[in-house]
Amino acid sequence: MTLPADELGPLLDTRSSEYRVYVRAGRLRRVGETRTVMRAVAEEVHSLVLTLHEEYRHRYATDGPTPAEQIELSLYPKDPDEAIALMGRFASRDLLFSEFTFMDPTEAQSIAESIVRLLGPEARWWSNTDGSISEGLVGCTLDGLVVGTNGDRFAALIQVADD
């Protein structure tokens, strides 16, 4: 499946929620002999984390932004179904207070399915969450990331939660 250049970003933007859920999508920077796909993905996530750190450092974050190397080590592989479930959850329900919703969970799940479908069956997916472990990236109480790439394009969604 050829990914339409103009569909992924706007679709992912519908998952964004001011001060909680943030997204980033685009072309993955070139992968070469010494630069793996996972490193390229970590660098894209790092760009998003830098933006969030600037926004949150005055309110919550105490640590500096997580470097790309650390982000790469914090990524756990996910299959497409796990990516859909996590993306739907992170886009719709607060990580700390699950009774608080940003959007209808069924709608969030449907859009997550569309995002995974747009990247195609060859896409690889990761999260900073593995079971009960969550590797913090922004420096707030908790954050949840889902990121995927088909080697050409990527999509990332992160929810930032703080009590």
Whether residue 112 is predicted with pLDDT greater than 90 in this model: the reply is: yes
**Residue recorded with tokens 């796909």:** 37
Of 4, 42, 48, give the one whose Cα is nearest residue 23: 48
Percent of the chain surpassing pLDDT 90: 39
Please check whether residue 36 lies inside any domain of the structure. yes
pLDDT digits (tens, 9 = 90+) for 33-87: 667 899 999 999 998 888 877 776 665 555 667 888 999 999 999 999 999 999 9
Domain that holds residue 54: 8-161
Number of separate domains in the chain: 1
- Band (pLDDT 50/70/90 cuts) for residue 4 is very low
Rounded CA separation 100/142 (Å): 15
Q: Full-prediction pTM beyond 0.85?
A: no
Three-class secondary structure of residue 138 per DSSP: coil
Please check whether residue 2 lies inside any domain of the structure. no
Q: Please give the DSSP secondary-structure letter assigned to residue 123.
A: -
Please check whether residue 96 lies inside any domain of the structure. yes
